[in-house]
Amino acid sequence: MCGTASMFYPLAFAEMDFICSNMTSIKNQCFYITKNNSKVDCPKFEFMPGVFESTARKDFNLICGREMYADIDMSLMLIAQCISAIIGNILIDAIGRKPIFIISCWIAALSSIGYLLSPNIQLILFLRFTECFALKLLMFSGILLALENLPVQYAFYATNSSTYMYGTGYALCALVSYFFRNWRSYVIVRLVIPSFITALLSLFLVDESIRWLLQKRKFSKFEKTVKKLYIYNSKEMSPFLIEEIQKMKGQREPSRATTTFFGLMCSKMSTLKFWELYATVKTAIWMAVLAFSWIACVVVYFGMQFRKELFGGLQIHFYFIISGIAEIPGALFQLYASKNWGRKPAHIASFILCGLSLLSSPFIPRNGYWIILVYLTAFSTKIFISAAFTNIYMWNAEILPTNLRGLGMGLGSLCGRIAGIPLPYIKHLAKMWIPLPAIVFALIAFAAAASSLLVPDTRNQISPDDIKEFQMFGTNNYILLKKQRLDVIKNKCDDSSQSNL
């Protein structure tokens, strides 16, 4: 579902050839020449049959001075994701992972249905903003549910597999557009049905994050979720765990007086002190480096969408099918590298290989058998930037404390989305010098690789639960602290089991 968000712009706003009705047969010309050799703006346009039967450019005449609305769509997607990265992630940390996940599905579905009824481009852009806001929330809440509900060894695979699904959705979205050549039909099929199915399944099959319930002192729900998990796994709860849950239930739970939206926001905002992430020089550097990695991922990843000339000659559907397929080997590379080398080495390697591919591509001849090498370098660029993008979600989430994990990831994503807003206009740098956009993207990738050396690796590390642990992360004291806490819990469970026998 999230893979469909970035596919709206290139397919729904795909360009179509046009002529000035009854005035000239010259394509894509906004004026005609009169008998007196003067230029007159076309009063009416006629669109030529092409790859698509209809696009938003045709329905709303987004040509001859109105093209800006098409470019605004891509920028608007990134602005929506910026706002979602902050406000949305506050809601994720305040209200819960599961409720936001389900609500996001419904909002995305209803926004897509609205495209059918939209009479003008302004309403389309508003619905597009709402859809992108919801899909960004969906992605963040889904990743946090996987990371916080599963053991470390399984959470790694679950998060990585989300990239396979993203790439599959990306490619399927392009495939759907091949059979549904009318853009309104296409936007309905791509998102509405999957959103409704996901919302219904998650309502019954997905549990709230156990770590979030414990952090927010919702002990009754915590007990129900834990019992459900033990039953599902055919295990019996240890007497020690039962005793500890009963002690927690005796403590005061959050007041229900703050269940209104504004009351909830005000009460939770006071506890989400995001500036504590920057309280020391060390953690401030970490956050700055991770933010720059987000910037590099967004700029290079979405910048590739505006460089379709790399696959020159391919129909737009097949270009994006190939781009979607490239996500899968990218995720496999990230899986192998992160598991065997670590998050940091995998991140650095992805950016370096991506930068090398970007630098080499513009200087390869576009004729003969050289075109195969052009395709391979473009394909490898997409593979390695997809790997880096997958890795930043996991690396960023693993290093942040539980109570600020959603907001902390949102701050990094915010920086990336802001940097991506002018992306639709970077493509015009090619008018100055064709290789210039690729060189700019490559330099950004190399800078992200170099700066990543300043952040500690998180492989085989237990994520911090509070700001104090976050500030200790990466030190021997942190490892000893976590080991001591685990040993205490293990010993108590063993003693409780022995006495019960």
Q: What is the pLDDT of residue 26?
A: 78
pLDDT in 10s for each residue of the chain, 501 residues: 666 666 777 777 877 888 887 666 778 888 877 777 788 888 788 888 777 888 888 888 888 878 788 778 877 887 887 888 778 777 887 888 899 999 999 998 898 888 888 888 899 999 989 998 998 888 888 878 877 777 766 766 776 677 777 777 778 887 888 888 888 887 777 788 888 888 888 888 888 888 788 777 787 888 888 888 788 777 877 777 777 777 776 665 555 444 444 444 444 444 556 788 888 899 999 999 999 999 999 899 888 765 555 544 456 777 778 878 888 898 889 889 998 999 999 999 999 999 999 888 778 887 778 878 877 888 888 899 999 998 998 898 889 887 788 778 878 888 888 888 777 677 677 778 878 888 889 999 999 999 999 999 988 888 888 888 888 888 887 877 777 776 766 666 555 444 443
Q: What is the dihedral sign for C-alpha 429, 136, 5, 357?
A: positive
What is the structure's pLDDT at 372? 81
- Tell me the C-alpha to C-alpha distance, in Å, between residue 55 and each of 8, 60, 127, 188, 457: 11, 9, 16, 14, 46
Evaluate whether 121 touches 391 at the Cβ level (below 8 Å).
Answer: no
Distance between CA atoms of 73 and 379, rounded to whole angstroms? Answer: 26
* Contact status, residue 169 vs residue 324, Cβ threshold 8 Å: yes
What 8-state DSSP symbol labels residue 182?
A: B
For residues 405 and 141, give the distance between their C-alpha atoms in angstroms, rounded to a whole number: 11
Residues 24 and 455: their CA atoms lie apart, in Å, by 61
- What is residue 461's DSSP assignment? -
- Collect all residues with Cβ–Cβ distance below 8 Å to 433 and sequence separation of at least 6: none
Length of the chain: 501
3-state secondary structure of 432: coil
- Contact predicate 12/55, CB 8 Å: yes
Quote the radius of gyration of the chain (alpha carbons, Å).
Answer: 25
Question: 39 forms bridges with which residues in the sheet?
Answer: 33
Residue 91: name the closest of 107, 78, 76 by CA: 107
Cα atoms in the 13 Å half-sphere on the side-chain side of 191 = 31
For residues 346 and 389, the answer to whether their CB atoms sit within 8 Å is no
Q: Taking the model in full, what pTM does it have?
A: 0.71
Structure tokens at 129: 């903003």
